Amino acid sequence: YFKQINLSTPATMVMPTIQCGVSDMPVVGLGTWQSDPGVVGTAVEHALNNNYKHIDCAMVYCNEEEVGAAFNKVFSAGKVKREEVFVTSKLWCTNQRPDKVGPACAKTLSDLQLDYLDLYLIHWPMHLHPEHEKGLFPLDDEGKAIPDPSNPSFAAVWAEMEKLVDEGKCKNIGLSNFNIEQIESILTDCRIKPACLQVESHPQLPNLGLLEYCKKNGIAFVAYSPLANPGSKFRRPEQKNLLDNDVVKGIAEAHSVTPGQVLIRYQVDKGNAVIPKSVTPSRIVENLAVTGFSLTAEEVDKLSDISKDFPAPGYRTCGVKHFGGHVNYPFKSEL
């Protein structure tokens, strides 16, 4: 799966890459979801100064201006060049209307202080009301999502995403949180194929069927929440901490690494990219240091089997079930 592998120390290692459209995507990146303003910029700066070459962003995280300031500071210093870093951002649901795609991307580029994105994703398949008083999360009095009344099609929105590639604003375009049927609808009508699918993936929810589909169709698979969100503000009371799982801990002990490193390497050994989030300097460095070991096929299978402790397809930590009534909600079978 990999373009290059160098099993050297974190300070000098060359990170493996996978093909993502026309680009090479480093397999480990820094996620910025739930990284609060005031700390996210420092985290991004620390990551870039410690050999990270992949940063994952999104407008709805409400921190892109601070991330952009960190980009500007690091790139201006000259130690790291912009073209060495793979940067992703995402089109939010309230901008999933053809006339809003271009302006939304322009705002993200301005906030991130960049001339182009390496990857721009449709964040979720649900279009939401673009001009509602409740802003980015328009919900009615019953807590249900308010869709865009114009009901824009995937094909119409995707055509505008393709124009961003034509204009040089994005090198690649892709999808996030789409199911197979929804991806198929894009593939049927597209001029530029989705380069990537970004979804939640970890041993409690390995998404193996979706992964197989992506590999068959030449779509890069990027795993978010690879540790199953142990510190998430959306964590549910019944959620089991994957870092405390006996199988994970046993494999970590066998390789003399941390449980978190096992969960990150789990994605790498399946040929995926992975974007663990952290704002803790030592953890940021630790999360990248996963090229010095690899898991056996048996260990990967043991980790995937953890999902069998839950009803199929597994335990999803980011289901945004308040959007469950939307016609395009991707996980209807899990409601």
Using one digit for the tens of pLDDT, what is the confidence trace for 295-308? 999 999 999 999 99
As a 3-state breakdown, the chain gives helix, strand, coil percent values, each rounded to 5, of 40, 15, 45
Phi and psi (nearest 5°) for 128?
-125, 155
Question: Is the pLDDT at 36 greater than 90, yes or no?
Answer: no
Q: Are 45 and 34 in contact (CB under 8 A)?
A: no
Task: Look up the pTM and report it.
Answer: 0.94
Structure tokens that stand for 333 in this block? 């079978």
Point out the catalytic residue in the list 52, 61, 120, 266: 61
Identify the band that residue 239 occupies on the pLDDT scale cut at 50, 70 and 90.
confident
Catalytic residue list contains 1: no
Q: Are 21 and 195 in contact (CB under 8 A)?
A: yes
Coil, strand, or helix at residue 138? Answer: coil
Q: Whose CA is closest to 179, among 22, 325, 26, 334?
A: 334
- Cβ of 155: how many Cβ atoms within 10 Å? 13
Mean pLDDT of 7-17: 62
Identify the band that residue 71 occupies on the pLDDT scale cut at 50, 70 and 90.
very high
